[in-house]
């Protein structure tokens, strides 16, 4: 199996069997709701922080296989990280899908999300791949316990 086919299988697996799909409620939950108006993808991210750690990360949404698998990958990789570690991972992922080399150490930290590196060849799909990561970036900026007005 080629690396490209393996990546395709990883993406489809996360799409068909999303990890950490669901919602969170209660004190200390930050909720970020983002839409990609160009294609209709929609993700709502729920983050519960305990101190400087992301204790729980969940998402719900609708969209293409790229956006939903990316949300699954992101939530799996960042749960348990510190806010600083998560912010670093977001920055590196955004570089990866822009086609930049990130190095083996970062590839390991990104885990399955490395499978999305190929979207850099399709600029219109970059927005799909980054939607959940941008939601996390906003959640980190808002901090724990801040619930956005809708």
pTM for the model stands at 0.89
Residue 34, in any domain of the structure: yes
The answer to whether residue 150 sits within a structural domain is no
Residue 60 lies in a domain: yes
Residue 65 lies in a domain: yes
Range of the domain at 96: 3-142
Q: What angle do CA 71, 37, 112 make, to 5 degrees?
A: 20
Cβ atoms of 79 and 58 within 8 Å: the answer is no
DSSP state of 120: G
Confidence band (pLDDT; 50, 70, 90) for 3? low
Are 99 and 31 within 8 A, CB to CB?
A: no
- Residue of 102, 87, 96 whose CA lies nearest to 126: 96
Where residue 145 falls (left for φ over 0; alpha for ψ -120 to 50; beta otherwise) is left
Largest Cα span, the chain: 47
Q: Encode pLDDT of 104-146 as tens digits.
A: 999 999 999 999 999 988 888 899 999 999 999 999 998 744 3
| CATH number for position 134 | 3.90.1010.10
pLDDT in tens, 29-70: 999 999 998 888 999 999 999 999 999 999 999 999 999 999
Whole-number Å distance between alpha carbons of 89 and 92: 5
Question: Is 148 inside a domain boundary?
Answer: no
Per the structure, the count of domains in the chain is: 1
Positive or negative, the CA dihedral 130, 127, 150, 141 is positive
CB atoms within 10 A of CB 68: 25
Q: Is residue 67 included in any domain, yes or no?
A: yes
In a domain, 116, yes or no: yes
* 147 domain residue, yes or no: no
């Amino acid at each position: 199996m080629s690396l490209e086919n393996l990546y395709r299988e990883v993406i489809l697996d996360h799409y068909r069997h999303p990890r950490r799909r669901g919602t969170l409620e209660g004190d200390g939950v930050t909720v970020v709701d983002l839409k990609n108006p160009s294609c209709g993808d929609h993700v709502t991210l729920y983050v519960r922080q305990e101190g400087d750690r992301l204790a729980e990360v969940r998402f719900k949404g609708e969209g293409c296989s790229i956006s939903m698998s990316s949300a699954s990958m992101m939530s799996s990789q960042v749960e348990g990280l510190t806010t600083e570690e998560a912010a670093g991972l977001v920055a590196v992922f955004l570089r990866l899908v822009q086609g930049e080399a990130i190095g083996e150490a970062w590839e390991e930290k990104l885990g399955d999300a490395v499978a999305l590196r190929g979207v850099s060849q399709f600029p219109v799909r970059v927005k799909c791949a980054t939607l959940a990561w941008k939601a996390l970036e906003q959640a980190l900026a808002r901090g724990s316990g801040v619930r956005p007005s809708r």
